[in-house]
Every structure is written in C-alpha cells, then in structure tokens.
Amino acid sequence: MASLVVFPFVLDAFLRKPMKSFLALVLLAFPLAASAHDFWIEPSTFRPPRGSAVTIRLRVGERYFGDPVPRMPASNLLRFEAHTPKGVVPVAGTEGDDPAGGITVAADGLVLVAYQNKPGYVELTEEKLRQYLREEGLERIHELRARSPFAGQPWREIYSRCAKTLLWTGKGPATLFDKRVGMPLELIPEKNPYTLRPKSSLPLRLLYLGKPLSGTLVVAVPKADPNRVVSARSDAGGRVRLALDASGPWVIKAVHIVPAPAGAKGQWESLWASLTFELPR
C-alpha cells in the first residue's frame, strides 16, 4: 500500500468544510494509492453552446472510472486556465470544491483548458512499484534504477499532473487544438479531434520540456468501452497515431519518469499528461 501523505490544507479543510467536501479532499492524500492512477479533466459538456457555463471536474482513477479531485489551494496550483478565441482566462473556483472550477464560453470555436499542479509526494512498496511500471509501460525504469545511486532504496517519488481538455462551440476558429501551453509533459493533437471522421486516426505529439519524447507508451481510453484501449509508443519525433473507432469522450494519457531534481523530497519524478475530448457521433 502506498504511504499516506496528508497535506496541511486537507487538515485545514476538515475544520472549514462539511464532511462531504472533506472526504473528497482526502483523495488528494492518495495520489497513487494501491496502483498507478490516471488523472484527467471531465467537463460538464464537451460541446457547450455559446454563452453557456461549463463546470470543470478533475478525476483520478483507472480507464475513465474515477473519483472526484477537489480544487487545490492556489499555492498548490501552477496553472488552471482556459485558452479561448478571445484570450487566456483563469478557471474560477473555490478551494476544496468539486467541481473544481468553471468557465463561461463567450465565443464560438475551440477552448483548451489546462491544469498543472505543484509536485506531490508518494512512497510505493516494491510490489506496487512493479505493478505501476508494468501498467504504464515503464519497465525500463527497473534498469535505470539499478544503475542509479538509489539502487536498493525504497521508491520515493514526486509527481505532477499535466492535464488538458478540448471543448468545441459552434463553427468558430479551430486554431487552439495544437497550442503548446508549456507544461513539462504535454500531449498535443496534430489534428482537431472534433473534425475526425468515424474510424479515423488521431495524430499526436508528446513533448517533454518542449522537446519530442520517444519510446513512451501513449494510451487512449474510450468512455463507451473503457476496457478496449488503443495504445502505441511515440517515435523518434515524439509522434504517435491512434486509431479511435468509437464516438463519445476519450482520454489519452502518457507517463514519463526521470530522476528527481537535486534537493527534491523524492529520488524520482513522474509526469502524468492527459488529454480529453469528444469524438463526433
């Protein structure tokens, strides 16, 4: 079982929030509990009418089955913003709430919502570590760990979430789908997913610190059938092409692990990128 890490703001929330909100906040204390967990943005609708309000929920779980993640304090957020045809606006919300925020869609076109947190911390047992690395296609980390100064030591990890979602309103400009927002690990579609025809492929690029990341497993999960995933490894240019043959919402994700920066609490750093959108019916 992963070690329990209780952040101070969780205890503060217990004193200020009703029990329902507190239980949601406690989920933040289990960032990788039991096994690896995905993290994604789930809007109230992927196709909002112009002028409508959209609530933004955060989810942690497996294959589109997830639990709510409430809004972190501002001190734990690096970005929570919406890139719109009229500019970049913050995703407004109240600490500890679920949904974690909301926006109003002011114009037709694509809207890209981006979320990034400051690194959290987790410890894993050897059994959970093996399961985690196997499920995320990160078996090479065993060899990297064996050659590192941390060989034989407990697995201590800092982790960051780099999540995006795409919303589509009307027939306005569709120029934001491939925008780089500057997160350390970022999935960038090279085609607007809302223009895909049935049974077509979506080309994507995976970037780490702004540069192509090769050999990384990229996984796509349809909400309609979460057990039928599509996956491929990125090529030398960081590119991957995924055959998405089901309509409705999809989450695409990738995980990358590197040695943690000097002075970090953990010895390893994991970066979790995700992208959600809805394919046309």
Average pLDDT over residues 202-220: 97
3-state secondary structure of 173: coil
Residue 240 CB burial class (10 angstroms; 0-12, 13-18, ≥19): buried
3-state secondary structure of 119: coil
Average pLDDT over residues 232-253: 96
Look up the pTM and report it.
0.87
pLDDT higher at 209 or 19 = 209
Query: Residue 27: what pLDDT?
Result: 43
Average pLDDT over residues 217-221: 97
Which pLDDT tens digit goes with each residue over 152-161?
A: 899 999 999 9
3-state secondary structure of 27: helix
Query: Residue 148: what pLDDT?
Result: 92
Average pLDDT over residues 7-25: 41
Q: Is pLDDT of 9 > 50?
A: no
Residue 155 CB burial class (10 angstroms; 0-12, 13-18, ≥19): buried
Q: Is pLDDT of 4 > 60?
A: no
Residue 149 CB burial class (10 angstroms; 0-12, 13-18, ≥19): exposed
Q: Which two tokens stand for residue 118?
A: 């400051």
Give me the half-sphere count of Cα atoms (radius 13 Å) on the Cβ side of residue 248. Answer: 8
Could you count the other beta carbons within 10 Å of the beta carbon of residue 137?
16
Q: Which residue has the tokens 């942690």?
A: 60
Highest mean pLDDT among 9-18, 24-33, 187-196: 187-196
Percent of the chain with pLDDT over 90: 75
**CA pair distance 200, 27, nearest whole angstrom:** 37
Spell out the residues 6+ positions from residue 193 whose beta carbon is closer than 8 angstroms to its own: 166, 177, 202, 244, 250, 277, 278, 279
Which pLDDT tens digit goes with each residue over 83-133?
A: 999 899 999 999 999 999 999 999 999 999 999 999 999 999 999 999 999
